[in-house]
Amino acid sequence: MSVTKVVVYPVIALTALLTTSLSFLNAQEIRRDVPYATPAHARQVLDIASPKGAKDLPVVFWIHGGGWQQGDKANVQLKPQWFVENGYVFVSTNYRLLPEVDMETIVRDVAKSVGWVSGHIAEYGGDPKRIFVMGHSAGAQLAALICTDDRYLKAEGVSFRQIVGCVPVDGDTFDIPAIIWTAEMRQLAHSMPQAKFGHREKFGNDPEKHRNFSAVNHIARDKQIPPFLILHVSGHPDTSIQANRFGSALTNSGVASKVFGAKETTHSKINDDLGVAGDPTSKVLLEFMTQSLKR
């Protein structure tokens, strides 16, 4: 005989929860599946969350992760609510994925999406001259690349002057040849088979492409590269060494940068916890954004 457990919530607690949820919904405007290309592929769309009555607010442009093969703009946890509550317009973009398209097409999709934001975000209360580019995992590589290799944004009519900050979150591909070598040597050392579709293949199986898709190779003085906050999991050897290597290269070229290693977290959790009350990484992120807007 099965027993159904009935959970009874206190009326006061339930009322408070509903009030909070309704208050948030009433405080923002949400537009979903806005196309950023003409004609648009099903994945060439973005979502926008903005405070009601917003005008000239700074913009957060978010790039999801998923190994360039999966993931979705809807997987943003608390980010829309958190950024809106802190006075930002939040944009989350989709892009076409491997293996349907190659890596070059993915990068150009993301840049095209930023180009659309530059031309249209004022209609949704955002300031196109104050854009933060952020992304997690694969999205971290894409964010870092378009914010160091200016060819992609220039092709969409966007200047680095419009990007006030870049925040890659726990990426391991700022230096792609290094992660390929690391991963393959690890497999070899343990007599394990190589990945059939690892970083080598994803980035084109061509050393020149591997170098060109590495943000670390596009850092130079006087390019007006925006300030960087590089977030990573302190206990993860690959993302930690990539973050510190990338941060050092930026600093050595005169680009403002900060590297922050989050403790007692994981690759997924550092992303999921952005916007959670008391989260140390979220605090560092907001401080970076406030400082960047004052520059």
pLDDT for res 2: 41
Separation of alpha carbons 7 and 18, rounded Å: 17
Separation of alpha carbons 213 and 201, rounded Å: 13
The answer to whether residues 242 and 171 touch, using CB atoms and an 8 Å cutoff, is yes
Which run of H or E residues covers position 30?
A: strand 28-35
Sign for the CA dihedral angle at 267, 228, 175, 200 comes to positive
| Tokens (6 digits) for 25 | 């919904």
Where do the domains of the chain lie?
29-175+214-294
| Tokens (6 digits) for 229 | 């906050």
Residue 295: pLDDT band with limits 50, 70, 90: confident
Q: Is the pLDDT reported for residue 184 higher than 50?
A: yes
Residue 99: pLDDT band with limits 50, 70, 90: very high
pLDDT for res 4: 39
Residue 100 CB burial class (10 angstroms; 0-12, 13-18, ≥19): exposed
Task: Return the number of other C-beta atoms located less than 10 Å from residue 94's C-beta.
Answer: 23
Cα 180 to the center of its chain, rounded Å = 22
Each residue of 247-263: pLDDT tens digit? 999 999 999 999 999 99
Give Rg (Cα) of the chain.
20
Each residue of 5-52: pLDDT tens digit? 343 434 444 444 444 444 445 578 999 999 999 999 999 999 999 999
Which of 164 and 23 is assigned the larger pLDDT?
Answer: 164
Q: Is the pLDDT reported for residue 56 higher than 70?
A: yes
| Tokens (6 digits) for 165 | 């900050």
Separation of alpha carbons 96 and 290, rounded Å: 32
The answer to whether residues 245 and 216 touch, using CB atoms and an 8 Å cutoff, is yes
pLDDT for res 28: 85
Q: Which residues does 108 contact at the CB level (< 8 Å), separation at least 6?
A: 152, 155
**Average pLDDT over the chain, rounded to whole?**
93
Percent of the chain with pLDDT over 70: 91
Helices (H) then strands (E): counts for the chain = 11, 8
Q: Is the pLDDT reported for residue 189 higher than 80?
A: yes
Separation of alpha carbons 43 and 95, rounded Å: 5
Separation of alpha carbons 108 and 80, rounded Å: 24
Tell which CATH classification among 3.40.50.2300, 3.40.640.10, 1.20.950.20, 3.40.50.1820 matches the domain 29-175+214-294.
3.40.50.1820
| Residue 28 β-bridge partners | 51
Instruction: Record the pTM.
Output: 0.91
